[in-house]
């Protein structure tokens, strides 16, 4: 099977951060002032197969792996992936109150203490990999538990009732 994927790597692509905080790209002889990164497997392989797209959603190419780029560029790309897939990771759960169709969560996250509301049912608390749990609140904000196995018994009991 022939592939028509245009892969970007350190030999043909240069990524840079624009003064306005956007990601720009020069690939071969073309320059793109703004590009966005879309992970093909945001949960299972967030650093592999990253689609580089223009604001009008056209794909410029794909990055096979962030390791195809040098340390600084890889870190820049990682930063832009984090901007796009912003989801505070839950470090510990203080409480989950379940009341009449909603669960009210209070948790310590990588972005500080967060209190949010999750609608019960409808797949708002779901496992996206063997270990990772994705929680979507009533406004569509996302939170993750990176390894559900690392939760304490008490935390697991609380989370399980919302799954």
Give the footprint of other proteins on this chain (CB under 8 A). 18-22, 33-34, 36, 42, 55-57, 82-88, 97, 99-102, 104, 110-117, 119-122, 136-142, 157, 160-161, 163
Sign of the C-alpha dihedral, residues 149, 150, 152, 155? negative
Give the residue carrying structure tokens 């406004």.
139
Nearby residues of 77 by Cβ (< 8 Å), 6 or more positions away: 15, 23, 37, 50, 63, 66, 69
Q: Between 71 and 101, whose beta carbon lies closer to other proteins?
A: 101
Q: Which CB sits closer to other proteins, 7 or 24?
A: 24
Question: Least Å distance between CB 43 and other proteins?
Answer: 11
Work out how close the CB of 10 gets to other proteins at its nearest, in angstroms, rounded to a whole number.
25
CB of 84 to other proteins, least distance (A): 5
CB of 4 to other proteins, least distance (A): 18
User: Is the CB of residue 129 less than 8 Å from the CB of residue 120?
Assistant: no
Name which of 20 and 71 has its Cβ closer to other proteins: 20
Which helix (H) or strand (E) segment holds residue 160: the answer is helix 153-160
Q: Which is nearer to other proteins, 23 or 63 (CB)?
A: 23
**Min separation Cβ 122 and other proteins, Å:** 5
Sequence-separated contacts (24+) of 33-38 with Cβ below 8 Å: 35/60, 36/80, 36/84, 37/63, 37/77, 37/80, 37/81, 37/84, 38/84
Which residue number, 7 or 141, has a Cβ lying nearer to other proteins?
141
């Amino acid at each position: 099977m022939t592939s028509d994927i245009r892969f970007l790597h350190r030999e043909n692509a240069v990524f840079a951060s624009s003064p306005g905080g956007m990601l720009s790209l020069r690939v071969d002889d073309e320059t793109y002032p703004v590009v966005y990164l879309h992970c093909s497997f945001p949960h299972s392989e967030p650093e592999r197969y990253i689609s580089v797209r223009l604001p009008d959603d056209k794909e410029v190419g794909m990055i096979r792996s962030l390791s195809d780029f040098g340390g600084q560029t890889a870190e820049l790309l990682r930063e832009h992936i984090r901007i796009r897939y912003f989801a505070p990771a839950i470090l510990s759960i203080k409480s989950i109150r379940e009341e009449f169709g909603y669960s009210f969560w209070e948790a310590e996250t990588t972005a500080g203490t967060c209190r949010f509301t999750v609608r019960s049912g409808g797949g708002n608390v779901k496992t996206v990999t063997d270990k990772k749990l994705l929680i979507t609140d009533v406004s569509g904000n996302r939170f993750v538990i990176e390894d559900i196995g690392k939760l304490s018994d008490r935390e697991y009991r609380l989370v399980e009732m919302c799954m």
